[in-house]
Amino acid sequence: MTKSTVPEGQTLEYLPSVLLASIMTKLDVSSICSVASTCKTFNACASQILSFLPNFHLIDIAPPMKQLTPLLPTNPYLKSIRVDCKRLDDKAIDCLLKPSLEELYLYNCEDFSGKLLSRIGFQCSNLKSLYLGLVAEKRGRSIWVSDLEELLCGCSVLESLSLMFDISMFLPDHSALAWTLASPNLVNLEIGEISSILMSEILSPTAERQQQLLPSEMQTPMLPNIQKLCITVDYVTDTLVGTISECLLNLTHLDLQDAPVIEPNSSFDLSNSGLQQINQHGRLKHLSLVRSQQYLRTYFRRVNDLGILYMADKCSNMESISLGGFCRVTDSGFRAILHSCANLQKLRVSRGTQLTDLVFHDISATSLSLTNVSLRWCNLLTDHAVVCLAYNMDLNVLDLRECRHLGDESLKAISVLLKLKTLLLDGSDITDTGLSYLGEGVLSSLTSLSVRGCKKLTHKCISSIFEGSSVRSLQNLDLSYLPNFSDNGILLLAKTRARIIELRMRGCPLIGDSSVMALASMQVEDGWWHGSSLRLMDLYECRGITQLSFRWFKKPYFPRLRWFGVTGSINAVMVEALVRSRPLLHIACRGEELGIGHWDSSEGLYRHDREEVDELEQWLLEGENGTDYGTDFENDDGEGGMVEDYDGEGGPEIAVEINDGDDEMVELL
């Protein structure tokens, strides 16, 4: 065999560029940028593929304009953009909007004005899916009806539209007629906040208003092809439900949530009569009706068992049902759902104040095969309900948060659910010993576990979860508000070498600097680098955290950390320094919940899920490559600095800064 003549250290330069490009196009943008920071060969390849990459998804960081621009060169093949716009404003519109786009998801657009909507309508006529979050929420920004009209008129082939901001705040009531311009192909509509009166007017304009602005031949049903409707209104009313049921003939998904600021009166509320109007055309598969207590402790007080019986009679083909705030519905109403809906797979009930174990007493006699059950704030439930639910062996999500009378016997019953992926037990009465009952069967499949506020737990619960079991899949662990959980628990966790991605410990008074040091020094399985797997860490109101902890966020520790919660008022100077040194790190100092949709922060069932996976990181964590990629890439002098600029033909010049003290995903200059 002929010896290779490739000079040592220059192997990559001799690989075919087509091969490198084929590999890199399989990665997401964050992973491409990470690879581009390693050498000039990869940098050149990244520059080229950005000119023909079909998807540009960058939502785990919020890049400023100067970093985003070189990543979005002229690209006639670009079909999809997803970007966190927290650090962008109207100046970025030309950079983001491309004529070839079919999908556009822009999150956190609070610094944009209504100009964003009108320009999308003008420049992106091929869009089929559009998501806009928090547009014009910053003071001084505004949206006009003309902006909405230009959006709806210009995007004539739109199939899915999500406007996740308060439409009623910016747009006057006559904006209802703007929706006559909406694409006839529109099948999915999601609105962040809108008044119920305006929504009813959109679906069924009054004859007077139609005659004023529309010729008689255009007086056709509004949004006739909508199949999925998700909206948050001021009040869910009988009129709104009736209008939706009557006008949307093809509706299969209905998600209605309200958040009243005052107690609704009888003429402006949901009653048994409204429930009787649901699913008039028999196509509904997914239903969510939730009254949030965001502003006021209130319920659907005018709905009782009779209304649920009416609804269940028409919803026999339902696959998922979510009900929140039905305080007068008893076991009879909830049992009617279980026994009428033979195809039911997902059941969610929140604030079911009269829901007891009897609902599930004979569930084994039904043909149900539930996969997702959430019974949040149902305080009359006991261990017996969980024992009965455990007959559904296909359960993969079980949410029992704030069911305060559940104890260790529940965990014994759960131990047979070998397909369980998510288990949420916040506020329950479980103990360290009880967690050990879960055994290797459940713990080997579990990816998310929350024991937040389970006050009987101590640091020994870590041993119960990890000791003697093959816990390989657990990624998200919430240990918040455990008064007896100390640094010893985190030391035990570090010894397990588990690949935890999200770790929440907020409100644990006994957690201090030792925990941070242990996590920073922690190596996961196969000799991976220090603290590398953690993407989220919440230490808010952990009283033992001092300035010493902040020193452990320097190189080479926590290279993948994206979300960090800490008490800012006590550590203001150190937080400011951390913000400067790690500009791409989301730091929450005021008690905000961290992450992209922590568990199910919305009480609704079908809110948009924007979480994505870093593909390069996923490959590495799955162990498909034995090389240690966790080391910070450095210049010849051994210090973190700037990778040499490379002007790749056919692509933009990319310079990647490796921050001193961090291995940020990238900082593109």
Residue 562 lies in a domain: yes
Rounded to whole angstroms, how far apart are CA atoms 254 and 251?
Answer: 7
91 torsion bin: left (phi>0), alpha (psi -120 to 50), beta (else): alpha
pLDDT at 531 over 80: no
> How many domains are contained in the chain?
1
Determine the pLDDT at residue 471.
62
Determine the pLDDT at residue 208.
59
pLDDT at 219 over 60: no
Residue 62 lies in a domain: no
> How is residue 76 written in tokens?
């006639």
Determine the pLDDT at residue 37.
81
Task: Please compute the mean of the pLDDT values over residues 57-82 and round it to a whole number.
Answer: 92
The runs of H, that is alpha helices, within 457-532 are: 461-466, 487-496, 513-520
- CB neighbours of 528 closer than 8 A, spacing ≥ 6? 499, 628, 630
pLDDT at 283 over 90: yes
Residue ranges making up the domain that contains 562: 492-611
Cis amide prior to 556 (ω within 30 degrees):
yes
Task: Please compute the mean of the pLDDT values over residues 5-13 and round it to a whole number.
Answer: 58
- CB neighbours of 502 closer than 8 A, spacing ≥ 6? 475, 476, 477, 534, 535, 536, 563, 595
Buried b (16+ CB within 10 A) or exposed e, 622-650: eeeeeeebbebeeeeeeebeebeebebee
Residue 650 lies in a domain: no
Tell me the pLDDT band of 541, cut-offs 50, 70 and 90.
very high
Tracing tokens 């949040």 back to the chain, one arrives at: 376
Residue 594 CA to its chain's centroid (Å)? 11
> How is residue 368 written in tokens?
């149900």
pLDDT at 22 over 80: yes
Residue 625 near residue 27 (C-beta atoms within 8 A): no
Residue 139 CA to its chain's centroid (Å)? 26
- CB neighbours of 405 closer than 8 A, spacing ≥ 6? 379, 380, 381, 382, 383, 429
Residue 668 near residue 654 (C-beta atoms within 8 A): yes
Tracing tokens 């785990």 back to the chain, one arrives at: 60
Query: Sign of the CA dihedral 447, 537, 375, 456?
Result: positive
Residue 587 lies in a domain: yes
pLDDT at 292 over 70: yes
Give the type of residue at 412: K
Neighbours of 369 (CB within 10 A): 13
Task: Please compute the mean of the pLDDT values over residues 32-55 and round it to a whole number.
Answer: 87
Tell me the pLDDT band of 464, cut-offs 50, 70 and 90.
very high
Residue 453 lies in a domain: no
Residue 588 lies in a domain: yes
Task: Please compute the mean of the pLDDT values over residues 309-324 and round it to a whole number.
Answer: 94
Neighbours of 411 (CB within 10 A): 25
Residue 548 lies in a domain: yes
What crossing angle do the helices spanning 487-496 and 513-520 adopt, rounded to 10°? 10
pLDDT in tens, 389-443: 999 999 999 999 999 999 999 999 999 999 999 999 999 999 999 999 998 788 8
pLDDT at 626 over 80: no
> How is residue 452 written in tokens?
């937040």
pLDDT at 1 over 90: no
- CB neighbours of 241 closer than 8 A, spacing ≥ 6? 256, 270, 274, 275, 277, 278
Determine the pLDDT at residue 657.
36
Rounded to whole angstroms, how far apart are CA atoms 356 and 377?
Answer: 12
Residue 558 lies in a domain: yes
> How is residue 222 written in tokens?
């509004």
pLDDT at 93 over 90: yes
pLDDT at 232 over 70: yes
Count of alpha carbons within 13 angstroms of residue 366, beta-carbon side:
23
pLDDT at 218 over 90: no
Residue with the larger pLDDT of the pair 612 and 158: 158
Residue with the larger pLDDT of the pair 614 and 511: 511
Mean pLDDT, the chain, whole residue set: 84
pLDDT at 281 over 60: yes
Rounded to whole angstroms, how far apart are CA atoms 574 and 443?
Answer: 38
pLDDT at 62 over 80: yes
Task: Please compute the mean of the pLDDT values over residues 55-76 and round it to a whole number.
Answer: 92
- CA angle, corner 271, sides to 267 and 276, nearest 5? 125
Determine the pLDDT at residue 595.
78
Which of 294-303, 606-615, 645-654 ranks highest by mean pLDDT? 294-303
The runs of H, that is alpha helices, within 75-195 are: 93-96, 115-123, 145-154, 167-170
